[in-house]
Amino acid sequence: MLPPQEVDALIESSWHHWTQGESFSRNSLDRLVATVAEHMQHERSPDAASLSPHAERPSPPSPQMKKEDHDHKEDGHSRSGVVCKCGQIHVRRGDRVCRGPSPTTDDERGIRAGDLGTIARVGAGQETVIVKWDRTCPDKAHTYTWPDPDGLVLCPALFGQVAEDVAELQKSNGLSSFAAEESLRRVHFDLSKARAEVAWVCEKDLRNPPKLYHHVRVLPDSLLVQQWFDAIPPCKCGQQTCHGGLTWSSRADKHLGREAIVLKIDEKDDTVLVETVGPCECKIWYPCLAVEPVYNPDLSFKPSLTVNSRVECRMEQGWLPGIVNEVLWNGLDRKGPIPYTVTLDDGRSVNVPNACLIRAI
C-alpha cells in the first residue's frame, strides 16, 4: 500500500534481486512476491493462492480516484485529443496521431487513412500543429488546423501504437519497431520482401545513433527495451550497494514511445540520459538502442542574436530586459538543450526554451 513514488523506488531497488542479473522470468516471481508481501496490509505473508484473480484485494487507504483522472497528465490537464475539464482540446509536442478518414489533399500525397505520425510543433494558441508522418520524406512535414474533435483528419494515437505491417514483420524476427519500419522503407513497404531482407541484417544496421542535444523517440517495445536494460554490464565501482548498469523500472516503461532530448551519452556502456518532452519532463537513462533520432523542425534554427545582445524575455510578469549569455543552437550544431541563456537585469539567470520567448531591443 505504498504511494506511487515509493512503488517506483521499490522496483528500482529490488529489480536486480528479482532477476538475478537475467531478464525477468517465471523464476523471478517468487522473489517478487516475497518482496511485495512485506508491504501488504496483512501481517502474515500471503501464499500463492491469495494472488489469484479471485482473491480478496485490500481496499485502498485513500479516496478512490475518479474515472476521468486516469486520463490526466502531470500538468493537471487531460490527455491530448480529448475535451479537458477546462474546455480545451490540448495537444503537445511529441504526441502521436494517426490520419483520419477524411480525403487527403494534394499536399498529402502518399499519406493514407490510419498512417501514424508525431506532433513536431504546436502553433500559437494551439490553433495549428505540424505533423511529421512516419512514412513521408525525412524532411517533409505537414501543417494542420487544431483541434479536430471528430478525428476526421487527426486522431489521437497511443505512444505504443505501431503500424500493422511493422507488427507483422516483428513476429518473424527480433527487430524493434524502428528497425522493422526502416526495413519496410528500404523495400517500399513490401512486407514479403522485407521478411526476406531482414534475415541478412541486424538491429544496428537499421538504426541511427543518437546525437547530443538532439530529439529522439524512445522505443515503444517494452520487452525488447527491458532485455537491453538487463544486458548493460555491471558497474565496476566495487561498492556493495551498487547494483550496476541500468535497472529496468516502471518509470522507464512508463515513458516508452515518447519523444525526448538527449542530455548525455555514456560511450563506456552505450547508454544515454534523456529528458522527455510533452506531458512531462523526466530525466531517464536508457540503452542507446532504446532511442532513435526523429524529425525536428528546430534544426533549421539560425540564431538572430549573439552573445551580449540586449534582449527582452517573456516572463510571467511580462517582457523583462536582459543580456544574452550563451547561444547554444545553430542549425545542426547543438551545445545545449535550449537556444539561449540570458541574465536578466534583475540578476536572475534564465534558460530560453523557445525563440518566440525572446526578442532584441
Residue 73 CA to residue 146 CA, distance in Å, equals: 19
Question: pLDDT tens digits, residue range 304-338?
Answer: 999 999 999 999 889 999 999 999 999 999 999 99
In whole angstroms, give the CA distance from residue 163 to residue 193. 17
Q: What are the pLDDT digits (tens) for 251-300?
A: 999 999 999 999 999 998 999 999 998 778 899 999 999 999 999 999 99
Q: Label residue 28 by pLDDT band (50, 70, 90).
A: confident
Give the whole-angstrom CA distance, residue 10 versus residue 327. 41
pLDDT reading at 217 higher than 90: yes
pLDDT of residue 71: 44
Instruction: Give the span between the Cα atoms of 275 and 284, in whole angstroms.
Output: 7
Q: What average pLDDT does the segment 63-83 reach?
A: 49
Q: Considering the entire predicted model, what is its pTM?
A: 0.75
User: In the block, which residue shows the cell 494534394?
Assistant: 106
CB 35 within 8 A of CB 10: yes
- Alpha carbon dihedral 272, 278, 279, 282, in 10-degree steps, equals 20
Q: Is-contact 257 218, C-beta < 8 A?
A: yes
pLDDT at position 291 is: 97
Pairing of strands 215-218, 259-266: antiparallel
Closest residue by Cα to residue 120 from 150, 105, 90, 140: 140
Confidence of residue 31 (pLDDT cuts 50, 70, 90): confident
Measured CA to CA, the distance from residue 263 to residue 283 in angstroms comes to 9
Q: What are the distances in angstroms from CA 272 to CA 233, 235, 253?
A: 14, 15, 15
Domains of the chain and CATH, by start: 4-51 (no CATH), 68-156 (2.30.30.40), 171-207 (no CATH), 208-297 (2.30.30.30), 301-360 (2.30.30)
E-strand stretches of the chain:
96-99, 116-122, 128-133, 142-145, 154-156, 215-218, 259-266, 271-276, 283-287, 291-293, 310-315, 318-327, 329-330, 333-334, 340-344, 349-352, 358-360
Q: Write out pLDDT tens, residues 110-131.
A: 999 999 999 999 988 889 999 9
